[in-house]
Amino acid sequence: MEMISTDVLVIGGGLAASAGAIEASKYGASVTLVDKGRFGRSGSTPTSGGSPHAYVPVEMGGDPEDSPQVFIRDNVEGGEYLCDQEMLGILASQGMARIVDLERFGVPFEKENGRFKTSRTMGESYPRVGRVIGDGRALMDGLRAEVLKRGVRVLENMAVIHLLKDEGRVRGALAIRRQNGEPLLLEARAVILSAGGTTGIYGQSSANFLVSGDSYGLALRAGAGLKNMEFQEFTLIPAPFGRPIATAAIKGITAAGAKFYNEQGERFLEKYDAELMELSLRSRLTVAVAREYAQGRQALLDATFLEKPVSHLPKVERAGFNWRRDRIPYVVAIHDSLGGIITDSEGRSEVPGLYAAGEAAGLQGTFGADRAGGAILACLVFGHRAGAACGAELAGKERGTPCGRDAITGEAERYFEGLKDRARGGGAEPGALKAEVRRLSDNCIGVIRNGDGLLHFLKEGTRLFDLSRRLPWKDPPAMIEAIEASSMVLTGLAIAASALERQESRGHHFREDRPKRDDAKELRWIVVRGGDPEGIQVTSSPVPFDRYSLKPPSRKGDGSRSAGEAGG
C-alpha cells in the first residue's frame, strides 16, 4: 500500500480546511490537504453567498450603534440560548482580522471610499460585513491561491474512508483514489477534519457538490462525540418551473426587500413572525414554507419591484424564468449543519491528534439552534485557530517518524480488506441505497419531525446501515458511493437519535408532536457517541449559564412559547 507522510493532514477542501492549512504551514509544518473533489470547487463554499457577516468597527464601515456585545446578543437570541457563548466571544473579537486576511489573499469585498459596504439581514440588529464580489467562488479562489502559495501539498479526487489510530491517538488516515480505487495511507502527526456537513443526505440541497456526512462517520468511528446534531440548518432555494436550483444566500434577496406570498396571495409569514417577516430567522422561514406546502399551498417570492438582480435572481434568469414579471416558487433545502464534532476553542476533539473545524465541528457550537451570524465567518475563524494550535503544538516537538508505522499500516490493510470482504455479500446498488436514505431523511428528519418518524428512521436506518456495508463494488465510483452511503446512514442515525431526545421545538428542530419550546427542561446540549447503530449512545449536558453573561428570560420558569414565537 502506497504511503505519504506529512506533519499535518487536512481532510476537506473548503473554507475551514483552507484556513487551517494556511495557518499550520506558518509554523514550518509540512501540510497535506486531501479533497474528495477538485480543490476550490467542491463542498458547499463555491455555491455560498460569500457573506461573512462579521461585526465591523465603525472606522472600517460599521454602524456606530453596533458592538461585539450586540453581535453576541443577536446570535445568542437567534440561537435560542443554546449557543456556546465563549466561542461567540472569539468569533466577535477575531472575525474582522480574518476578513483582513482574506483581502490580503486577494478576495474582493464590496467597499466604498475604502470602507466595507455592509448590509443587515435576518437576525441582525445592525448591518455587518456583506458580500464578496463573485460570491463563494471568488472566496475560494483567494483561499486556494494562498494554500498553493504556501507550499501545501494538495491531493484531489481522493476520498478519506478511515482515521488510523495507534495507542489511542489519531496518526493519519486511509484514502481511496476516485479514479482507480487504489488505497493510499496518509501518515500524519496530527489531523484536521474539515470535510463539511450533511448536504448529501437530503433530497434538496443549497450546494451543488453534495457532502455525505463523511466528517461525522469518520469521527464517530474514531471515538469522538458529536453535539447538537438535531440542529440541521435548512434554507429556501428557488424552483422555477418546478426545478430546484442549488444556491445559497436567501439572506441577500430578503435583505433587498423581496416578499413571500402563497398561491392565495397571502403574506403567510404574518402567521409566524409578524414583526420581522422576511427578516426573521431562517428556521422560522423554512418552517413557515414547509407548513404552507404541507397544507397544499406553494410559496412564492415576489422580487418584481427590485431594480436589479441580486442573490438568486441571476440563476433564476438563466433558467429562463422572468422574475420581473412573475413570482418565483421556492422550496426547502438543506444548507448547513449547526451540530458536529465536540472540540475546544482551538479545534481539539476528544480524541488525541484529531482537530476539527467548520461544519464538521458544527461551526464550533457558536450558533446553537439557529444561525443569525455567518457560517463563513465561523469556518474562517475556527479553521484558522485549529491550524494555529496544531502547528504550534507540532513546532515544539521533535520530528521523525510520527508514529508506529507498522501499527497503522496493519490497521489500514485490515480495514480495507474488511470492506472488500463485506462487499462480496451483495445487496442493492449504492446509488439506489443513497436515494432510499434521502427519501427516509426527507420524511423523518427534515424540517417537520415527530416521534414516530424519528423512531422509524432509527429502525430503518439500522437496516440500511447493515445493507450499506455489504454493497457490491463493481468499479471505483461504486466503491466510493458504497462508503458514502454508510456515512450518510450513520449521520442520519445521529440526527434522529438527537432529535428524539430533544422533547421540544427550538430553532431548526421542529417537532409537530411537541410544538412548544421548553426552557425549564431543554436548555441542554445533546451528545451522540458510537460508530455503529447498535452502539449509539445519547447523553446531554446543561448549557453552562453559570459561565455565561446572557441568560434566557424564562430561566426559572417553564419558558414555553408557541413554535412561531420560539422560532421553531
pLDDT at 15: 94
| Same domain, yes or no: 309 and 444 | no
| Same domain, yes or no: 307 and 444 | no
Q: Coil, strand, or helix at residue 493?
A: helix
Contact of 259 with 278, CB cutoff 8 Å: yes
Grid coordinates representing 140 are 475560494
How many domains, in total, are found in the chain? Answer: 2
- Indicate the residue among 300, 332, 364 that finishes a domain: 332
pLDDT at 550: 96
| Same domain, yes or no: 302 and 428 | no
| Same domain, yes or no: 549 and 461 | yes
Residue 69 lies in a domain: no
> Beta strand pairing status for 259-262 and 299-302?
antiparallel
Contact of 77 with 368, CB cutoff 8 Å: no
Residue 537 lies in a domain: yes
- Indicate the residue among 309, 332, 355 that finishes a domain: 332
Contact of 483 with 161, CB cutoff 8 Å: yes
Domain residues for the domain of 473 are 410-555
Residue 162 lies in a domain: no
Residue 97 lies in a domain: no
Nearest-5° angle of CA 451, CA 455, CA 461?
140
3-state secondary structure string, 248-307?
Answer: CCHHHHHHCCCEEEECCCCCHHHHCCCCCHHHCCHHHHHHHHHHHHHCCCCEEEECCCCC
pLDDT at 427: 63
pLDDT at 518: 96
pLDDT at 559: 41
Residue 242 lies in a domain: yes
pLDDT at 396: 72
pLDDT at 348: 98
Nearest to 488 by CA among 504, 464, 470, 505: 464
CATH of the domain at 539: 1.20.58.100
Residue 92 lies in a domain: no
- Indicate the residue among 311, 332, 353 that finishes a domain: 332
| Same domain, yes or no: 417 and 328 | no
Residue 179 lies in a domain: no
| Same domain, yes or no: 548 and 437 | yes
Residue 343 lies in a domain: no
CATH of the domain at 255: 3.90.700.10
Please, what are the averages of pLDDT over each run of 10 residues along the chain (568 residues)?
A: 94 96 96 93 77 92 95 95 97 96 95 90 84 89 96 96 94 92 93 94 85 93 97 94 84 86 93 86 90 93 89 90 94 94 98 97 96 91 97 78 72 83 70 93 96 97 88 79 91 97 96 95 96 89 95 62 37
